[in-house]
Structure 1
Amino acid sequence: MSEAESPDSLARMRGLIWLVAAAFFMQTLDSTIVNTAVPSIAHALAVPPISLKTALTSYVLTLAICIPASAWLSDRFGTRRVFAASVLIFTLGSLACGMSQSLSQLVAARVLQGIGGALLMPIGRYVLVRAFGPKDFVAAMSTAGIPGLLGPVVGPLLGGVLSQYASWRLIFLVNVPVGIVGLWLNRTHMPDFRGERRPFDWIGFILFALASGMLLTAAETGGDGDYRNAGVAAVIGAVCAFAYWRYGHRARHPVVDLTLFKVRSFIIAVGGGLCTRLGTAGLSFILMLFLQVGCGWTPTEAGLMIVPQAVAMVLMKLLIDRILKRHGYRRTLFVNTTIATALLACFALFDATTPWWAIAILMFAYGFVMSLQYTAMNTLAFVDLPPERAAQASSVTSTVQYLAISFGIALSSWLLAVFLGDHHHDPAAYVHGFRIAVLVMAAISLIAVYVFTRLRHDRPLRRQVTTPETAA
């Protein structure tokens, strides 16, 4: 029986729940708060707004690279020490972001933030699993997850308000007091769990990091027009990816378990999710540029447009289980991906004269559909796996998700840059570029419709799987 499995376990472990909740809140808040402040940050750092994509992708890519190391670190050094280090690193990274004087400094600080942020959610979920028994875990996870759901709702609006009425630097500095409280709670309430010690796959980790970093570098430098260096980075990244593919099948403890890709439902979930996120992940970034630079909206007004999407994603959580149990994965994902693609294409109908309520309605509908999409894709990866492989699958799916998000942001910003040309200060160019970019992004997402038809038959939801992405 676990330490917390008793009638008053939630009350006795309230400090631990609040600690994990604060970590979830910081991570989800930071994933959404930056988008609305992009034009303000670009103006302060004297760079084109489109250049801020690097500050977003560097953070997400760091999450993807470092997440696989979280399990080994907690087993080797204990959850209390590693969680404290992750909170401290994230807080110091936030402080460095708020003090940045150039884009390169901001990117370096975002990488530091990502190193800390990569460990917050995996270790937080792991500790709740160990601290609470099966009877209390769902209640504990639901309580801890509430602030994580609020992050995407509060983040865009808070980012807009702070960048408009105070300073964009405060969107990072707000994490500092939360981090200090988190360090205090960690010292007094975090249990020190350890698992079986095993060797860390340093070779695989280095190959995986190089492959991911070089391929993203190729995408970003190519988007800036430096095709020669982009080609070199792409070749290095491809070689490292191939080397890991060969190496990963032979490693005893691979950092990314490739044998999971032998399961048909898993590879379809990952492949379909990759195609979906490549087309949709960058929408928030280019939408903020469209509204603020193209349409002349204030940061606060633009931030308000993200709130309907976040609210709809939370509301859809009430219906997801029933939809999947009634219609199964194949039918649900085929229909829902088609609807999501159509709604994404509808953003091309907007121009500088579009009323705010029309944008809000489409954002609500889009959020409603994407909440079901994310949860269905994420849970599909687990339906044919035994419970003992769930932890490995969770690490792999989280890694692929963040990789896809980073490449999706790079792709959308590259499309916008291509259609902008040299007109970085022309509002009409941003409107035109946005409309064409979302059509191309919708076409890419349409590939996922075909991928999900490769499921052999409809299968119901066998067990509820909680995923933080439905809120992000």
Structure 2
Amino acid sequence: MGNGFDGEHQDRLAHGTRTAAIVRSSFAPRCEDALSQASVKTYLPWVVAAALFMEQLDATIVNTAIPSIAASLGVSPLSLKSIVSSYILSLAVGIPVSGWMADRFGTRRVFAVAIVVFTLASVLCGLAVNAPMMIAARLLQGLGGAMMMPVGRLAIIRTFPKSELLGAMNFVIIPALIGPLLGPTVGGLVVHWVSWRYIFFINVPVGLVALFLVFRYMPDYRAAQQRPLDVVGLILFSSGTALLSWFLEIFGEHTLAPLTAAAILASSLGLLGGYALYARGRKFPLLRLSLFRIRTFRIAVLGGFLTRLGLGGMPFLLPLLYQVGLGFPAWKSGLLMMPAAIAAMAMKLVSQRLLQRFGYRQILVVNTVCIGLTIGLFAFVGADTPLVLIVMLGLTQGFFNSLQFSCMNSLAYADVDDQDSSMASTMSSSFQQLSMSFGLAAGSLVTAWFLGDVPQTDRTMVIGALHHGFATLSIITVISSLTFWRLQQNDGESISRGTALRL
């Protein structure tokens, strides 16, 4: 993917500049209560952040509760792995159609329905009396979550001009980073003190507050021109994505016959390849792949995909290092994940200034290498490492990770016209979901490869195996920085030269 698209890209930018006011007016919010733009800008990031926190927290909080849930429902813990994979499958199926739904029914209505579905599904999860009911409720919960992320991001993109977009996304991304870190800790504490069912019931008050904020402060954007739903494209892409996500979720955890694994992988890739061929000649495709002709969008999405391959292994390796290798109790291991969350909040105070000074290209190239190096430093953590050094390493990695995701997520929309924002949000979310699945698969493979048959009672051997895993992920991440070399020095200036968000 060279510079062959640059001429067309410049024409798109020139045309977008001339018609920005007209396009933006076609997406003007239909707010019956005539909310002021200032009020929307003040409270909308809180609305989206609250919903995303609930979604991201629930994606991981259930992991530590699986043994307790299995004992309560009278099944084996292994059989309940599907309550995790079912949630991921629903996300993979629901995200591609979310942009069309927002354009057709409006961001306020779709976002509100997503919160209602997610909250009700959480209640059903807490009331589940058997495994099939739990899995069905998790599928429903995933569908609600699938509409939250892209639609919430779309509302942010259409509300804030590009000069203010980075500040808004910095604020919204924090709960998305904190949720997965808090999930295992909160889940462990809830299971320890009360019933596992409260893991799902805690979503109810959060959902009610978020729903109140939606109807009060969420603008109601919708497309001026309605496009038909691409049903065939939805079947092809969603089926391929769901099958691939499921394959990556179970790969490394279950023993699959080589022919079975090859057949599943070939089927999923065939469906996705079939969609690419089908969408090429469609006037209204489910996902318009021609957006990848925009260099900044292409590099942000595909570069982020590669970067997450290295980052995806850390959720597997760090708990093993802390609990199995170093012998820390679960609560202490969970607390050691908190420095990254603190660093994520601190990052938003400086990211705008860093981008204004250095630009996206330099930040993403250097920051990706820094992430790889911090991952590699965990290969030197052992039984005699002072706890304060482990905390400092967690803070450093959390800061770099947060800066990376903030930059990649905002760069994706730097050169996207306003009328394409819904499609860009849907495509970015879809590829992020795939990259998460690939990252988790990469992490599980690296973990399984180096641990092998190492007895968990031998902490020295476990630590040594994990050190090899950290080194491997470090190399993968550093190599992924090469994708950002294709950026130009002035790419993303419409965002990086903007003003910080005041909240």
The normalised TM-score by structure 2 is 0.78
> CA, structure 1 residues 457+83, in 2 after alignment: closer, same or farther (shift >3 Å)?
closer
> CA, structure 1 residues 413+152, in 2 after alignment: closer, same or farther (shift >3 Å)?
closer
Distance 1:8 1:381 in 2: 25
Contact kept? 1:286, 1:434, Cα under 8 Å: yes
Give the aligned residue type for 1:394.
S
Contact kept? 2:308, 2:439, Cα under 8 Å: yes
* Matches for 1:416-455 after TM superposition, within 5 Å: 416-422=447-453, 426=457, 428=459, 431-455=463-487
Determine if the alignment matches structure 1 residue 324 to structure 2 residue 355: yes
- Out of 191, 213, 227, the residue aligned to residue 163 of structure 1 is 191
Select between 404-413 and 347-356 the one with higher mean Cα deviation: 347-356
1:162 deviates by: 2.0
Please name the residue that 2:300 is paired with.
269
1:181 deviates by: 4.6
Please name the residue that 2:121 is paired with.
93
- Out of 282, 290, 294, the residue aligned to residue 259 of structure 1 is 290
Contact kept? 2:89, 2:242, Cα under 8 Å: yes
1:188 deviates by: 7.1
Give the aligned residue type for 1:172.
F
1:427 deviates by: 6.3
Determine if the alignment matches structure 1 residue 299 to structure 2 residue 330: yes
> CA, structure 1 residues 91+153, in 2 after alignment: closer, same or farther (shift >3 Å)?
same
Distance 1:435 1:236 in 2: 35
Give the aligned residue type for 1:378.
N
- 1:154-189, Cα deviation, whole Å (9 max, x unpaired): 545423422333344433321133334545666677
Give the aligned residue type for 1:114.
G
Contact kept? 1:330, 1:455, Cα under 8 Å: yes
1:273 deviates by: 0.8
| Identical amino acids, percent of aligned pairs | 40
The normalised TM-score by structure 1 is 0.82
Give the aligned residue type for 2:381.
F
- 1:61-90, Cα deviation, whole Å (9 max, x unpaired): 533442231222233344454334312321
Please name the residue that 1:364 is paired with.
395
Please name the residue that 2:234 is paired with.
205
Select between 436-445 and 399-408 the one with higher mean Cα deviation: 436-445
> CA, structure 1 residues 419+40, in 2 after alignment: closer, same or farther (shift >3 Å)?
farther
1:246 deviates by: 0.8
Please name the residue that 1:470 is paired with.
none
Distance 2:323 2:67 in 1: 7
Give the aligned residue type for 1:396.
M
1:365 deviates by: 0.4
Give 3-state SS (helix, strand or coil) of 1:171's partner.
helix
Give the aligned residue type for 1:454.
R
1:374 deviates by: 1.3
Give the aligned residue type for 1:463.
I
Select between 455-464 and 61-70 the one with higher mean Cα deviation: 455-464
Distance 2:351 2:384 in 1: 35
Determine if the alignment matches structure 1 residue 463 to structure 2 residue 491: no
Give the aligned residue type for 2:50.
A
Select between 134-143 and 198-207 the one with higher mean Cα deviation: 134-143
Distance 2:341 2:326 in 1: 22
> CA, structure 1 residues 266+20, in 2 after alignment: closer, same or farther (shift >3 Å)?
closer
Distance 1:357 1:38 in 2: 32
Please name the residue that 1:230 is paired with.
261
Select between 118-127 and 225-234 the one with higher mean Cα deviation: 118-127
Distance 2:384 2:130 in 1: 34
Give 3-state SS (helix, strand or coil) of 1:67's partner.
helix
Distance 1:190 1:9 in 2: 10
Could you tell me which runs of 5 or more consecutive residues in structure 1 were left unpaired when the two chains were aligned: 467-472
Distance 2:37 2:213 in 1: 23
Give the aligned residue type for 2:242.
G
Aligned-residue Cα RMSD (Å) equals 3.9
1:243 deviates by: 0.6
- Out of 239, 242, 245, the residue aligned to residue 276 of structure 2 is 245
Please name the residue that 1:280 is paired with.
311
1:398 deviates by: 1.9
Distance 2:372 2:171 in 1: 33
> CA, structure 1 residues 146+283, in 2 after alignment: closer, same or farther (shift >3 Å)?
closer
* Matches for 1:70-89 after TM superposition, within 5 Å: 70-89=98-117
Distance 2:87 2:215 in 1: 27
> CA, structure 1 residues 128+461, in 2 after alignment: closer, same or farther (shift >3 Å)?
closer
> CA, structure 1 residues 352+166, in 2 after alignment: closer, same or farther (shift >3 Å)?
farther
> CA, structure 1 residues 233+102, in 2 after alignment: closer, same or farther (shift >3 Å)?
farther
Distance 2:338 2:248 in 1: 30
1:33 deviates by: 3.6
Distance 1:335 1:394 in 2: 26
1:353 deviates by: 5.1
> CA, structure 1 residues 445+110, in 2 after alignment: closer, same or farther (shift >3 Å)?
farther
Contact kept? 2:158, 2:421, Cα under 8 Å: no
Select between 193-202 and 246-255 the one with higher mean Cα deviation: 193-202
Determine if the alignment matches structure 1 residue 59 to structure 2 residue 90: no
* Matches for 1:94-133 after TM superposition, within 5 Å: 94-98=122-126, 108-127=136-155
> CA, structure 1 residues 296+166, in 2 after alignment: closer, same or farther (shift >3 Å)?
farther
Give the aligned residue type for 2:276.
W
Distance 2:313 2:191 in 1: 21
Distance 1:426 1:100 in 2: 36
Q: Report the count of equivalent residues.
A: 462
